[in-house]
Amino acid sequence: MGGHLNVNHLLFLGHGALWTIGLSLIALIGGGIAGFAIALARISPHKSVRLLSATYVQLIQGTPLLVILFLGYFGLAAIGLKVSPLAAAGASLTLYVAAYLGEIWRGSIQSVPKPQWEAAEGLALSRTQRMMKVILPQAIRIATPPTVGFMVQIIKNTSLASVVGFVELMRSGQIVNNSLFEPFAIYAIIAVVYFAMCYPLSLLSQRLERRMGRGMVNLAPA
Amino acid sequence: MGIELDFPAVLERWPNFLGGAVLTLELALFATVLGALLGTLAAVGRGTHSALIARACKVYVEAIRNTPLLVQIFLVYFGLASIGLKLSAFTVAVAALTINVGAYTAEIMRAGFEAIPRGQIEAAEGLALSRVQIYWHIILLPAVERVYPALTSQFVLLMLASSICSQISAEELTAVANYIQSDTYRAFETYIIVAVIYIILSLVMRAGFWGLGLVLFPRRRRLGTAL
């Protein structure tokens, strides 16, 4: 007990911060791939595919990430599937991010003006060609600002992985606090580190949004 | 080892689940009302002529929106304790959630204020409405009407985020689930049930806000959309 914050503590926090970034990247990449599939499924010509993907999004968006995490970690362990904290956190965040990114990207794809779809069809492009060559290049422009904005949410949400014992920034703060017991100072440092990671992304998102300008489609905040 | 699911064993704890769900709704309700007030004040503050107040409001909004709720809850919890204020977990949870959702509300309300055409305010001035009248009838109410859908989804997200308050042992739904699963060793069934309860709660809240919107904004109902 006692003692002061020293270099070792800071190194430990830095190590935690790296894992926060790592976990965010896992969630972004995993959730991005799954989210893209969700976005396409949500506008599929088959009704059953649309219904299934819409149900998935509704279920995930109606459940707290914390409960999904507990389900992945304690729940699976209880029925005999032992998973590591990293696997549980990575998988839960992927499922969670996929639902939100899927919705953001579906909105972006659908806000590509209708005449573009019709023109592509009039040029006898196949469905795949229309998507790849006409719609997606424009949708990516629309999707960029909200996606960058959502990355802030991903980074903040990785803090919940601390609850299942994954040592990222928040958890490393708790561990340091257990030896120093100066909760206010330590959590303030943790908050500053999170802010330093998130604020540049927030600014970038705002700037991108402004640069899109008035001529482009305006997306309502998610 | 085979997988055996036993939902009835967990479901017979339904009074605990119900109690947790009620507390979750209470948390959400308090934080929604207080957060809406705080957020509206912060949004108004950002638009004032006083550079100091505008700056303070901006710092508040950005600081909250760029840090995790879990860190904020711990800061409020230990911060208040370190200055000698011993408050119940419920009070701390409401305070932290209010501060959190206030910042998001402020951003949404600001978007609403910015969407009010300048000419409307000038017209109101031309009609010799008082400043208070202009703020209430020309700026605030139409702005809320415009951003109502965004506000309500933010409040549903807040209800879901209140699960994080289980970490400071506020006895809401997720905390109840943690307790039941450690008691019954049936974590999978417990969290499935809790997930279903949260989904029901969010559907109930959505329906409630939709109904409230019909009552509050009759014009919205007539036009089928905001102005």
Domain ranges for chain B, please list them. Answer: 7-223
Percent of chain A scoring above 90 in pLDDT: 81
In a domain, A215, yes or no: no
Using the predicted structure, report yes or no on whether residue A156 has a pLDDT greater than 60.
Answer: yes
Tell me the CATH number of domain B7-223, given options 1.10.3720.10, 1.10.238.10, 1.10.1040.10, 3.40.50.300. Answer: 1.10.3720.10
With bands split at pLDDT 50, 70 and 90, how would you rate the model's confidence at A221? very low
In a domain, A158, yes or no: yes
Between CA A21 and CA A76 the distance in angstroms is 26
Q: What is the pLDDT of residue A169?
A: 95
Alpha helices per DSSP H over B47-140? 51-65, 69-82, 89-114, 118-126, 131-133
Higher pLDDT, A144 or A221: A144
Domain with residue A45: its CATH number is 1.10.3720.10
Higher pLDDT, B223 or B7: B7
C-beta pairs of B29-34 under 8 Å, 24+ apart in sequence: B30/B94, B30/B97, B30/B98, B31/B94, B31/B97, B31/B98, B31/B100, B31/B101, B31/B158, B31/B162, B32/B101, B32/B155, B32/B158, B34/B94, B34/B98, B34/B102
Residues of A near B (CB-CB distance < 8 A)? 58-59, 61-68, 70-71, 74-80, 152, 156-157, 159-160, 162-163, 170, 183-184, 187-188, 190-191, 194-195, 198-199, 202, 220-221
Percent of chain B scoring above 90 in pLDDT: 70
- Tell me the chain B residues in contact with residue A195 when contact means C-beta distances shorter than 8 Å: 63, 66-67
Please give the average per-residue pLDDT across A94-120, as a whole number: 95
Q: Which of A63, A64, A156 sits opposite B68 (nearest CB)?
A: A156
Using the predicted structure, report yes or no on whether residue A129 has a pLDDT greater than 90.
Answer: yes
Q: Which of A79, A184, A199 sits opposite B188 (nearest CB)?
A: A79
- Tell me the chain A residues in contact with residue B111 when contact means C-beta distances shorter than 8 Å: 221
Please give the average per-residue pLDDT across B140-167, as a whole number: 93
Residue A42 sits at the vertex; the CA angle it makes with A38 and A48, to the nearest 5 degrees, is 110
Q: What is the ipTM of this complex?
A: 0.88
Please check whether residue B146 touches A, CB under 8 A: no
Q: Which of A67, A156, A221 sits opposite B67 (nearest CB)?
A: A156
Please give the average per-residue pLDDT across A183-202, as a whole number: 95
Q: What is the pLDDT of residue B47?
A: 85
Q: What is the pLDDT of residues B40-91, one digit of tens each?
A: 999 999 988 899 999 999 999 999 999 999 999 999 998 888 888 888 899 9
Neighbours of B15 (CB within 10 A): 8
Domains in chain A, number: 1
CB B72 within 8 A of CB B100: yes
Using the predicted structure, report yes or no on whether residue B205 has a pLDDT greater than 60.
Answer: yes
Its domain, for residue A48, covers: 7-209
Separation in Å, CA B172 to CA A70, A75, B142, B164, B212: 15, 19, 35, 9, 25
Neighbours of B157 (CB within 10 A): 15
The token pair that represents A145 in the structure block: 């600002």
With bands split at pLDDT 50, 70 and 90, how would you rate the model's confidence at A5? confident
Q: Which of B150, B163, B191 sits opposite A221 (nearest CB)?
A: B150
Q: What is the pLDDT of residue B222?
A: 65
Neighbours of A139 (CB within 10 A): 21
Please give the average per-residue pLDDT across B178-207, as a whole number: 92
Please indicate whether, in this complex, the C-beta atoms of B68 and A152 are within 8 angstroms of each other: no
Residue B75 sits at the vertex; the CA angle it makes with A6 and B167, to the nearest 5 degrees, is 105
Using the predicted structure, report yes or no on whether residue B94 has a pLDDT greater than 70.
Answer: yes
Number of Cβ pairs closer than 8 Å across A and B?
121
The conformational region for residue A165 under phi > 0 = left, psi -120 to 50 = alpha, else beta, is left
